[in-house]
């Protein structure tokens, strides 16, 4: 369906329960603004090719809206890449939208940095990972702290392919992400890590769907958030294992660390299992900073603020520990360190 034909989702849909569509829309839900382009640039020899916008009807209001607003649309083909590919997405103007499709036929490491100060940014990333291909993908959100940000991702994984996906979400004022991965071939696997550091009145809503359509597939999701000020973090996950997708192994872990009395966090890790011979588990935990840990560090000479900062840093780093690609792991941790140091200096 096209955007104008779609009803506004109600809050009974858990995807829109905490960040209703009108709150993330740039103005009024019935309007479709003409968007400026998000400019993609690349640091390597790979070519970004401008492609026409997809006209495929969308099943989801956020994707249909991004399609309707236009913006830039590019594609990149990746084969066996020796060095990590850094793509910079620069957003400017009032409302900016970008579409990017990645076609992966070998092993590649890709980092996508998004920055800029528009009032509203929309980004739709799609990716096809062909049989036996492997992609390590790092997404770093460094948008201005006044920007509203809508991000949709759709990943299709073929037989024996793998995706390692890491997100560092520290930018933007109100963010809504909807990340979906389909494991379409046997032997495919996805590892996903999301680290969120929210402060002030930042609102970050991360929704992750992983669909096991075939057997012998694996998924592993870790989402860690540290919320200070009066920030609000929402982590929702939907893990489905289709009928007959036996020997699938799926896990999701959501952890929230609340650092101030006015911070809020919601965790909704959902499971739908239609096959019997599977291993599926999820866990969610929420707690303040552990007093014993604080006491231990303070007994070693750190003041309370330093001690808390060490614990929070360790907690956020830990979200990336399920990643096996070294380059991805190091880059994400470096970016996180830079962010935390900047925070500390403020």
Binding mask 269-298 for other proteins (x = CB under 8 A): xxxxxxxxxxxxxxxxxxxx----------
Q: Output 8 or 274, the one with its CB closest to other proteins.
A: 274
Neighbouring residues of 244: CB distance < 8 A, sequence distance ≥ 6: 215, 275
Pairwise CA distance, residues 147 & 92, whole Å: 11
Residue in 27, 43, 262, 321 binding other proteins, rule: CB under 8 A: 262
Please identify which residue in the block is written with the tokens 């590919």.
85
Q: Left (φ > 0), alpha (ψ -120 to 50) or beta: where does 132 sit?
A: left
SS3 116: strand
Closest separation between CB of residue 12 and other proteins, Å? Answer: 5
Q: Output 116 or 237, the one with its CB closest to other proteins.
A: 237
Pairwise CA distance, residues 31 & 16, whole Å: 19
Q: Is 268 exposed, middle or buried (0-12, 13-18, 19+ CB in 10 A)?
A: middle
Binding mask 10-49 for other proteins (x = CB under 8 A): x-x-x-----------------------------------
344 near other proteins, rule: CB under 8 A: no
198 near other proteins, rule: CB under 8 A: no
Q: Is 172 exposed, middle or buried (0-12, 13-18, 19+ CB in 10 A)?
A: buried
Q: Output 276 or 345, the one with its CB closest to other proteins.
A: 276
Residues numbered 201 to 260 that lie near other proteins (CB under 8 A) are: 243-244, 246, 256, 258-260
Q: Output 47 or 277, the one with its CB closest to other proteins.
A: 277
Contacts to other proteins by CB under 8 A: 10, 12, 14, 243-244, 246, 256, 258-288
């Amino acid at each position: 369906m096209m955007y104008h034909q779609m009803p506004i989702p109600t809050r009974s849909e858990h995807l829109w329960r905490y960040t209703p569509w009108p709150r993330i829309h740039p103005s009024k839900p019935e309007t479709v603004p003409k968007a400026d382009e998000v400019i993609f640039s690349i640091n390597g020899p790979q070519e970004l090719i401008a492609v026409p916008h997809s006209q495929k009807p969308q099943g989801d209001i956020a994707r249909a809206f991004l399609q309707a607003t236009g913006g830039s649309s590019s594609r990149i083909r990746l084969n066996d890449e020796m060095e990590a590919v850094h793509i910079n997405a620069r957003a400017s103007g009032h409302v900016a939208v970008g579409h990017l499709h990645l076609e992966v036929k070998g092993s590649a490491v890709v980092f996508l940095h998004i920055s800029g100060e528009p009032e509203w940014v929309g980004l739709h990333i799609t990716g096809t990972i062909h049989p036996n291909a492997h992609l390590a993908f790092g997404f770093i959100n460094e948008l201005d702290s006044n920007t509203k940000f809508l991000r949709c991702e759709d990943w299709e994984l073929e037989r024996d392919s793998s995706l390692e996906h890491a997100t560092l979400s520290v930018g933007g004022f109100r963010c809504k992400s909807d990340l979906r991965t389909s494991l379409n071939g046997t032997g495919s696997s996805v590892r996903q890590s999301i680290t969120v550091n929210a402060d002030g009145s930042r609102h970050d809503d991360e929704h992750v769907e992983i669909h096991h359509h075939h057997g012998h597939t694996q998924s592993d999701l870790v989402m860690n958030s540290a919320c200070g000020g009066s920030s609000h973090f929402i982590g929702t996950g939907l893990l489905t294992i289709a009928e007959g997708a036996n020997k699938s192994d799926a896990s999701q872990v959501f952890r929230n660390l609340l650092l101030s009395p006015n911070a809020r966090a919601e965790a909704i890790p959902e499971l739908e299992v239609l096959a019997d011979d599977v291993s599926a588990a999820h866990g969610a935990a929420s707690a303040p900073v552990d007093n014993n840990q604080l006491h231990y560090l303070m007994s070693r000479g750190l003041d309370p603020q330093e001690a808390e900062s060490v614990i929070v840093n360790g907690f956020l780093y830990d979200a990336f520990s399920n990643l096996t690609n070294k380059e991805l792991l190091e880059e994400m941790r470096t970016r996180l360190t830079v962010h935390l140091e900047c925070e500390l200096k403020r």
